[in-house]
Amino acid sequence: MKPLLSRVEAQQLDRAAAMLKVLSHPKRLAIVDLLGKGKGKDNQLSVTDIYQALDLPQAIASQHLITLKDRGVLKSTKVGTKIYYSLAVPQLLKVIDTLEDYSGKV
């Protein structure tokens, strides 16, 4: 059987699938969306800003932030005792916008 031809190589598809898996949780999507619309310096928000804006318990927000950072979606900067998060992959906002457009049509 002839292999299926794709515009994208298998490794790229694996990385894309892993990224979509990370974003598959609604709270993680909300965090990425919030950081994309952040008003802070370079769209950075503190953990406190994030959990308050999304009305999440601090521990739950921190777990999601760690997952997103470990998977390369977010980056962090420590200033004094505060940790600020920002998007490491701003292009993900296009994916979220596309999903929001699509979900409004379903």
Phi–psi pair at 25, nearest 5 degrees: -90, 130
* pTM listed for this prediction: 0.81
Residue 50 — very low, low, confident or very high, per pLDDT cuts 50/70/90?
very high
Taking residues 56-82, what's their average pLDDT? 95
What's the mean pLDDT in 7-34? Answer: 87
CATH topology of domain 10-102: Arc Repressor Mutant, subunit A (1.10.10)
- Does the pLDDT at position 106 exceed 70? no
pLDDT band at 38 (very low <50, low <70, confident <90, very high): low
Task: pLDDT band for 93, please (50, 70, 90 cuts).
Answer: confident
Give the mean model confidence (pLDDT) for residues 66-92.
Answer: 93
Among the listed residues 101, 85, 98, 104, the one whose alpha carbon sits nearest the alpha carbon of residue 20: 98
Strands (E), 26-81: 45-46, 74-79
Instruction: Give the start-to-end residue ranges of the domains of the chain.
Output: 10-102
Q: Which residues of 5-20 are buried (b: 16+ CB within 10 A; e: fewer)?
A: eeeeeeeeeeeeeebe
Report whether pLDDT(6) > 80.
no
